[in-house]
Amino acid sequence: MNKKQNHILFGTIVLIQIIVIIGIFIHIKVKNTNVLGKSSVNTISSRKIIRTTSSKYKYFYELQSNIHDVSKQLWTDLDKQVICTTNSDSMNERVDYAVEKPENVFRIITLGDSFTYGLNVSTVDNWTEILEQNLNRKPVCKKYNSYEVLNLGVYGYDINYAVERYRIRGMKYDPDLVVWLVKEDDFIFPEEMIRKTMFEDDNYIESDEDYLEIWDQIFDSIGFESLIEAQTKSLKSIRNYYKKSLLISEMTNYDKVDRVIREFVKEDSESYLLSFNLDKELTFSDSHPNEKGHKYIADKIHAYLVKNLLINCE
C-alpha cells in the first residue's frame, strides 16, 4: 500500500466511524443477545500517528512526537478550537518528564484509549492534566514535593495496545501508580481489524457497509468469547511489566466485561476498582467526555486516591 492509499484509508475511518461503531454494537447484540453500553468514536488521524516498528504487534501505532496541533472539534462543536500538543516521548502532554524520577516526586501513569488521550478537548483540559493540578494544589501528604501524571492514552487502543504502550513507553518512567481507564469497547477490537481496514489493498473501504462487512468476518472467525478471552489475558499481562498499585477506572454497562474486570481486581492484591459513568451533560454527542466530563473524571479519581490511601505517605 502506498502512502496516498494509507492516508485515504485513515481519513475514511474518521468519516464513517460513528455509524460503524453503532452498527458493530448492534451486530454484537444480535449475535449474543447481550446489550452493550454506549459506544464511543475512536478516530485515527494519519497526521498524528506513526507505526512503531519496535512493537511485538505488526500494526501498533503511537502519537507523533513534538506536535502542536490547532484544530476544530470533530462531530461536536465545530466552532470551538482545540489545541493539542505532544511531548518528545509521544505523550499528549505540554511538557517533557525526566525518565529518572526526581526525588520526592509521586509519579502516576495513565493508560487507555481516546477517553484518556482526551479526544476533542485541548491538552490542558484532559482529566490527566486536571488530576496533576489537583494533586499539586492539594497535596495528599508532605512526603512529596510534587506529583506527576503522565498521559499514555491513545485514541483507538484496545487492551492489548494499552499494555504494549506501557511496555514501550511507560515502564522506563518507574511510576508509583498506574491508573487505567477501561471501557467495554476496549475488549472487542482486535488488531486484525486494524490490519484489514488500514493496511491491505484488497480491503479498501469506501463505505460504512464495507467496514461492517470486514468487522463481521473477523467477528465470525474469532468469536465473541475468544475476543473477550484474548483481551482478558492481555489485561492480566500488565503484571509482566508493572508490579505496584493499579487503579482500574471502569466505564462499562456490559456485565461480561464488568465481571472480567472485577475478577481480575479480586484476584490481584495490588489492584483497585473505581466504577462510574458519565451523564449526558458531561459528554459530547459522540459520548466522549467534554471539558466538564474530564474535570468530573479527575475529581472522582483524586477522591478515590485519597480515600483509599493509594498515595503512600509513610
Q: Given the C-alpha cell 465473541, which residue does it identify? A: 224
DSSP string, 137-148: HS-S-TT-SEEE
Contacts of 59 (CB under 8 A, 6+ apart): 51, 191, 194, 195, 198, 199
**Predicted TM-score (pTM) of this structure:** 0.84
Give the strand pairing for 49-51 and 61-63: antiparallel
* Residue 64 to residue 201: CA distance in whole angstroms: 24
**pLDDT at site 75:** 58
* Residue 209 to residue 268: CA distance in whole angstroms: 42
Q: How many CB atoms sit inside 10 A of residue 75's CB?
A: 16
* Residue 132 to residue 221: CA distance in whole angstroms: 43
Burial class (CB within 10 angstroms; exposed 0-12, middle 13-18, buried 19+) of 67 = middle
- Give the rounded distance of the alpha carbon of 106 from its chain centre: 22
C-beta of residue 125 within 8 angstroms of C-beta of residue 288: no
Which grid coordinates are listed for 251?
A: 466505564
DSSP string, 2-51: -HHHHHHHHHHHHHHHHHHHHHHHHHHHHHHS------------TTTEEE
Q: Given the C-alpha cell 447484540, which residue does it identify? A: 29
**pLDDT at site 87:** 97
Q: Given the C-alpha cell 516521548, which residue does it identify? A: 89
Consecutive 10-residue runs of the chain (314 residues): their mean pLDDT? 42 40 44 40 59 90 91 66 94 97 96 94 97 93 94 93 97 98 87 68 61 75 85 96 97 90 97 96 90 97 95 86
Letter for the amino acid at 183?
Answer: K
**Could you tell me which residues are beta bridge partners of residue 83?**
70
Encode burial over 169-205: b for 16+ CB neighbours within 10 A, e otherwise.
Answer: bbeebebbbbbbbbbbbbbbbbebbbebbbeeeebeb
- Kindly list the structural domains of the chain, giving each domain's residue range(s) and its CATH number in brackets, ordered by start: 3-307 (3.40.50.1110)
**pLDDT at site 216:** 77
Among candidate residues 56, 118, 95, 172, the one with its CA nearest the CA of residue 298: 118
**pLDDT at site 252:** 87
